[in-house]
Amino acid sequence: MRAREYGLQDAHMEQFSIDGKIHYGLMRSHLAWRVEAASLWEVAPEHTLLGDWSTEPIRLADYSHSADADTPLVDVGQGTSEADYGGKDVRGKIVLADGVLATVQRMAVTQHGAVGIVSDMPNQTTAWSGIDTGIVRWGHLDALLPSGFAFMVSRATATALAGAAHQWPASDAERAREGTGDERALDGGDGNRTRYRPSCGRGGL
């Protein structure tokens, strides 16, 4: 230890417990988290890569869980209140939301059965925070919840995805499955489909 070379007599290392709950000063201890790979694709109506952890790690919210989902995207607005889910079936689907991620995770994933989240939540709201709609913010899920993932997108991308999600209502998608509606709605499910294939877990960084 170099500190002793500089004459410090009681130089030693200390270890502190980390459980996701204990606070040291103003900072909460965070559990370790490991990512092997993660990507988010829009597969219909266009085939577009929305984010890849290997090239832009900020795209994947901290503490996302592993999943393999190819499912419709449902716009739930902020996604932080029961009213946001009124008349919407999000079970097994990915939600588009801009509310506080941990709250959306509890509401959409834990309570309503969604598999994950696409989010453009601003991690700060100031007078200038919405000027650049191409910025991708850093996101954090609740490390203590057992499921769910979140991919971060820009406000511009979220607006485009929301427009696609509302273009083909669920009723049209259901008619398409019965063979009487517009086939694009079938391709798009509730408007468009997203595919998410990450491999994540807790462990050393």
Q: Which domains does the chain have, with CATH numbers?
A: 33-201 (3.50.30.30)
DSSP per-residue string spanning 31-67: ---EEEE-EEEEEESS-EEEEETTT-GGGBPBTPPP-
Closest to 114 in 3D by CA, of 155, 85, 157: 85
pLDDT at 182: 27
For the chain, how many helices (H) and strands (E)?
5, 11
Q: Examine the pLDDT at 35 and tell me if it is beyond 70.
A: yes
Evaluate whether 163 touches 139 at the Cβ level (below 8 Å).
Answer: no
What is the pTM for the complete model shown? Answer: 0.75
Residues 175-201 as b/e (b if ≥16 CB within 10 A, e otherwise) read ebeeeebeeebbebbbbbbbbbebebe
What confidence tier does 166 reach under pLDDT thresholds 50, 70, 90? Answer: low
Residues 7-43 as b/e (b if ≥16 CB within 10 A, e otherwise) read eeeeeeeeeeeeeeeeeeeeeeeeeebebeebbbbbb
CA separation for the pair 174, 135 (Å, rounded): 35
Q: Strand locations in 67-165, DSSP E?
A: 69-75, 94-97, 116-119, 150-152
pLDDT at 110: 97
Report pLDDT digits (tens) over 103-125.
Answer: 999 999 999 999 999 999 986 66
- Report the amino acid identity of residue 37: A
Span of 25-29, 83-87, 199-203 with lowest mean pLDDT? 199-203
Report pLDDT digits (tens) over 173-195.
Answer: 333 233 333 222 222 233 445 55
pLDDT at 127: 60
Q: Which two tokens stand for residue 138?
A: 């850093």
pLDDT at 141: 94
Report pLDDT digits (tens) over 41-68.
Answer: 888 777 889 999 999 999 999 999 998 8
pLDDT at 21: 81
117 or 130: which carries more pLDDT confidence?
Answer: 117
- 3-state SS assignment for residue 75: strand
